[in-house]
A = this chain, B = another copy of it.
Amino acid sequence: MSVPVTIRDVARAANVSAATVSRTFVRPEIVDASTRERVLGAAARLDYRPNRAAQTLITGLTGNIGIVVPDLTNPFFPSVVRGVQNQAAELGYPALLVDTGEDADRESELVTRLARQVDGLVLCAARMSDQDLIAHQRQCPIVLINRQVPGLPAVTFDNEGGVRQEVTHLKALGHQRIGYVAGPGTSYSSRVRQRAVTAHLATAGLTEVPVGSFAPSFEGGRSAAEKVLLADITAVMVYNDVMALGLINQLAQYGISVPNDLTVIGFDDIEFASMSNPALTTVRIPREQAGAQAMSYLHALMTTTGSVPEPPAQLRTELIFRGTSVRAPLNQRSAE
Contacts and interface: CB of A to CB of B under 8 A. Distances in A.
Given A52-B116, A78-B72, A94 B94 contact: no
Interface string A65-83: 0000000110100110110
Interface stretch (A96-104, A164-172, A183-191): A96-104
Interface stretch (A15-23, A26-34, A202-210, A270-278): A270-278
Nearest to A53: B56
Given A85-B99, A97-B97, 14 more contacts: A2-B139, A57-B57, A64-B117, A72-B81, A75-B75, A78-B78, A82-B99, A86-B101, A94-B114, A94-B117, A95-B96, A218-B275, A249-B277, A272-B272
A316 interface: no
Interface of A: 1-2, 49, 51-54, 56-57, 62, 64, 72-73, 75, 78-79, 81-82, 85-86, 94-99, 101, 110, 113-114, 116-117, 138-140, 218, 245-246, 248-249, 252, 271-272, 275-277
A96 B82 CA distance: 14
Contacts of A117: 52, 64, 94
Nearest to A63: B117
B113 A1 contact: no
Tell me the number of copies of this protein. 2
B1 A139 contact: yes
A277 B275 contact: no
Contacts of A79: 73
A155 to B, nearest CB: 19
A248 B52 CA distance: 50
9 contacts: A1-B139, A2-B139, A64-B96, A73-B78, A94-B117, A248-B277, A272-B275, A276-B276, A276-B277
A181 to B, nearest CB: 16
Contacts of A99: 81-82, 85
Contacts of A97: 95-97
A51 B116 contact: yes
Contacts of A249: 275, 277
